[in-house]
Amino acid sequence: MLKILQTRLHQGHRTTKFPLEIPALPERFRGRPTIDQAKCSPQCQQCVDACPTSALSIVPVENGATKRELRLDLGKCVFCTECVDICPTGAIAYTKDHRLATSTREDLILSGDQLKLAEGLGQQITSRLGRALRLREVAAGSCNACDLDTNVLNTVGWDLSRFGIAFVASPRHADGLLVTGAISENMRYAVRDAYDAVPAPKIVIALGACAISGGPYAGSPATHNGLGDGSILPVDLFIPGCPPHPLTILDGLLRLIHRIPKG
């Protein structure tokens, strides 16, 4: 027992100090992408052709001398770097910025280096829920990568409960749902039933590319392309990635309950 206590004392404080401090991220971490329109060749669309999930598109615009714009849909992006590797001019790059969560599906469309980050819940629902959340996680046809990175938040390194956020077993005890996966045909009914069981007012969080757009499974007759179009459930928070890093997930959750300032 004495050895265990000595080892624990030697380890020291192991919980990240986020949001007061940003923890060290791995060298290969892929954060928010950026697009330099000035470097994008008007005749080139190699990145669009290479993208495995059709996340990139070229849109006609009238902006001075520019008549077209490259756009990246973070809701479809699986952060595979195919576009970065094939771009001959380096117009697309990944940053170390972990902040990716947005309040609307439209805000996930990136055309430069700025992203409109998620805002907190409205005053009416905030007054009912306060600054804490009880969430029921529903894996609706996921590969479990998003679920695993979410579960990491319950470890001592992140200690999600210190923010008043916890996952519960029953939707009847929850303030909302956190949904992963592309919404398979069978899980479509389960997701809806779980949502109906959550007491009002309630929220929905779409976590990962599959839950937002179907990810690499988009267009399959076995799935419903996620929750992004609002046809299955209304969504209050979109957290993109494949899977999102635990820091990205935590940042989104804290923005939702007004624990992180805007910006």
Euclidean distance between CA atoms 239 and 103, whole angstroms = 9
Q: For residues 186 and 242, give the distance between their C-alpha atoms in angstroms, rounded to a whole number.
A: 22
CA angle 191, 196, 202 (to 5 degrees): 95
Q: Are 151 and 246 in contact (CB under 8 A)?
A: no
pLDDT digits 0-9 by tens, 5-46: 777 677 666 789 999 999 999 999 999 999 999 999 878 999
Express each pLDDT in 97-115 by its tens digit: 999 999 999 999 999 999 9
Q: Which of 263, 188, 258 has the alpha carbon at shortest distance from 222?
A: 188
pLDDT by residue (tens digit) across 217-257? 999 999 999 999 999 999 999 999 999 999 999 999 999 99
Q: Which helix or strand (DSSP H or E) is residue 47 part of? A: helix 46-50
Q: Where are the domains of the chain?
A: 33-97, 123-256
Domain pair 33-97 / 123-256, same fold = no
Class of the domain covering 33-97: alpha beta
* CATH class of segment(s) 123-256: alpha beta
